[in-house]
Amino acid sequence: MPTFALSRREMLVGAGSAALAVGFVEPAMAAGEIQLATGQNWTGWNLGDFRVLAVSDGKLGLGSPANWFAGLPVEKIEAVLKENFLDTTSISLAENILLLDTGQRLVMFDTGTGGNPMLGDTAGRLMASLAAAGVDPAAVDDVILSHGHPDHIFGLLGPDGKPAFPNAQVHISEVDFRFCTDDANASDPKVGAFVPEMKRQLLGVGDRIAMIRDGLEIVPGVTAIAAPGHTFGHMVFMLESGGKTLLNAADLAHHYAIFTRHPEVNFVSDQNPQMMAATRMRMFDMIATDRLSFVGYHFPFPGYGHLAKAQQGFEYIPASLDTI
């Protein structure tokens, strides 16, 4: 005899209504049982004829903000954090992965940390989030990498060392591909420790790599735009359909509050912080002037919003999600 457990909510509805209550989602949690990590860490919206899903890989804990922003006194950092109702002693960055369904291709941008312990234990949730969103990794046609950093490419391979997205072509700038696969860069003071794993990940999908460059339309409706400085081959992407546009801004900015108020600040993990600050200021100005919508990889989930010019720097205005 088929059986099913009644949730507390169904029991409250009463036995007479049980037939109507079967559709309630299990498990139903009550006081003392609510868990934050089991949520469906994805959301989506329309972009012209395309559909966009933002899927969370979790977050990166950076610890004390004092170590990350060169040239900005710690009092100023704390003031911005405080104004934004954030913890002034420890900062974290979201990891927002975009999926774009063009109707012809399913495109994913970046792959998260893959749960690599070098990046902490609060990221690496991509596969669980994809499962929650009902996306089969084998259905992804293209993985477009914004750059070669570990929090973007360490999810290329599964725990078995095989491609985690077995049918996907992988796109990355040639500059970053060469940097990440060159043993000589293991002595790089900023990312050298990651180079052996960067190389393993990228060569693990080496038979399906395609190089991208500034201005290339990678798949119809997705165009690469060079945004150098964070890495020398760092790319952002303009997504366009039916007269609607969305800029996938990747790592144009890391901490949403600090870099919008102080876009000129140098971020210590940028390969060339001055070059990146110039790129950031130029592109922030474009986003605000052209009233573009954008997604920041490290902005608060889903990282989808706009920039308005403010008295000092810019203001980040999260988008109102139109999910229907």
CB nearer to Zn ion: pick between 151 and 176: 151
Q: Tell me how far, at minimum, the Cβ of 136 lies from Zn ion, in Å.
A: 25
Structure tokens at 258: 């600090």
User: What is the SS3 assignment for 110?
Assistant: coil
Query: DSSP assignment of 234-253, as one string?
Result: -EEEEEEETTEEEEE-TTS-
CB nearer to Zn ion: pick between 108 and 240: 108
CB nearer to Zn ion: pick between 130 and 153: 153
Q: Do 261 and 312 touch, CB atoms closer than 8 A?
A: yes
Q: Where do runs of H (alpha helix) occur along the chain?
A: 8-13, 18-21, 74-83, 126-133, 150-153, 174-180, 195-204, 256-261, 273-289
CB nearer to Zn ion: pick between 176 and 251: 251
DSSP state at residue 22 = T
Phi first, then psi: give them for residue 158, nearest 5 degrees: -80, 175
- Among the listed ranges 149-157, 164-172, 238-246, 280-288, the one in contact with Zn ion (CB under 5 A) is 149-157
Q: Tell me how far, at minimum, the Cβ of 144 lies from Zn ion, in Å.
A: 14
- Among the listed ranges 5-13, 71-79, 197-205, 247-255, the one in contact with Zn ion (CB under 5 A) is 247-255
CB nearer to Zn ion: pick between 231 and 241: 231
Choice from 57, 110, 142, 151 touching Zn ion (CB under 5 A): 151
Query: What is the chain's Cα-based Rg?
Result: 21
CB nearer to Zn ion: pick between 86 and 119: 119
Choice from 101, 142, 251, 270 touching Zn ion (CB under 5 A): 251
- Among the listed ranges 79-87, 101-109, 130-138, 143-151, the one in contact with Zn ion (CB under 5 A) is 143-151
Size of the site for Zn ion (CB under 5 A): 2
240 binds Zn ion (CB under 5 A): no
Structure tokens at 316: 């980040």
Q: Do 277 and 228 touch, CB atoms closer than 8 A?
A: no
| Chain residues that interact with Zn ion, rule: CB under 5 A | 151, 251
